[in-house]
Amino acid sequence: MATSQAFDVQEETERLISDAPPAHYIVKIQSFSLLTKNRIYKYESGIFHAEGYKWKLILHPNGNKTKNVKDHVSGYLSMAETSSLPSNWEVYAVIRLFLLDQNEDNYFVVQDAMGKHRQFHWKKLESGFDRLIPLKTFTDSRNGYLVDDTCVLGAEVFIPKERSTGKGESLVMIKDTLRNNYTWKIDNFSNLDREFYDSSIFLVGNYKWNIRFFPNGIGSGLGSHISLYLALAETESLPPGTKVFAEFSLRILNQVKGRHYTVKANHWFSASSWERGWAKFISLTSFKLLGPLVKDFCWVTADVSVLGVVNPFT
């Protein structure tokens, strides 16, 4: 392992070249430029295990704006699911972040100088490198870190020197957006007496979706609003750790005046976070004034675009 001379070394950090891949986690990102284009300014990986704790790799592709970082990629490790740890817990760890040089088939490694330990505790779950690599250096394909808009990052944690089975994930940002518009006719509206109704399943990007409609609301909207959600369906059939990033709009159509009621959002859908919507989508009073009912039915639509997918691997 040798010291890198590619660019200026930050104070109190070491920049090395390694032939060995990261021991604990790898993230492959395809169509990297679409992260910023799709307003994903912070990406959190799936959870991985290292040294008896759970971690996430955090990436700010255009710099950590909360710390006023400019012209750099920022990278961190964050402890995850710490609620089971003892009160006032503290963990001291040596962390190392990796970038694959695809031209030379080796890894650029950033770590603290002199074997410095990072402190993690319940008030400070995240630590890392504000200026992991200059953005200009990272995006220049001649340096090998971003080639064909694809990069590979990794992480190692040591408390002390032990290694666990490496796992990882692949994040694919989709250039040619996968999109579908689904329209659902809800009949006999005045006789709806169940808590909620699910639309038929429709496909977007090989993933199954449906709309969930609460005619009398749920949660904070119970009794006063219509609640409306988009759901990723049949998540039990997906490989564990799969996440789907989708931008979507839900709409109730006005059949007479053409004044539709629309709300938009984006969300990382997964088995643990399979639906996204609004308990107070529209008040029942506004719904009646909107006039969407003709012959006691209404139309609800979902416009869904799949922008990115995370696939785990071992």
- The CATH code of domain 2-165 reads 2.60.210.10
pLDDT tens digits along 213-251: 999 999 999 999 999 999 999 999 998 889 999 999 999
Question: In terms of pLDDT, which residue wins out, 142 or 313?
Answer: 142
pLDDT tens digits along 107-139: 999 998 877 889 898 889 999 999 999 999 999
- 36, two tokens: 């910023």
Contact 82, 125 (CB under 8 A): yes
If pLDDT is split at 50, 70 and 90, which confidence band does 258 have? low
Element spanning 198, H or E: strand 197-198
Residue 55 DSSP code = E
Q: What mean pLDDT do residues 61-76 have?
A: 95
Residue-level pLDDT at 2: 43
Residue-level pLDDT at 230: 98
- Asked if the domains at 2-165 and 175-313 fall in one CATH topology, the answer is yes
Residue-level pLDDT at 86: 79
175-313: what fold? 2.60.210
CA quadruple 233, 264, 169, 155: dihedral positive or negative? Answer: negative
- Whether the pLDDT of residue 73 is over 80: the answer is yes
Tell me what percent of the residues of the chain surpass a pLDDT of 90.
Answer: 68
Domain boundaries of the chain, sorted by first residue? 2-165, 175-313
Residue-level pLDDT at 256: 63
Sequence-separated (6 or more) residues with CB below 8 Å from residue 53: 79, 91, 157, 159
Mean pLDDT of the chain: 89
Residue-level pLDDT at 107: 96
Cα-based torsion angle of the residue sequence 199, 202, 206, 212 in order, rounded to the nearest 10 degrees? -20
Q: Which among 284, 277, 271, 283 has a CA at the least distance from the CA of 302? A: 277
Residue-level pLDDT at 8: 41
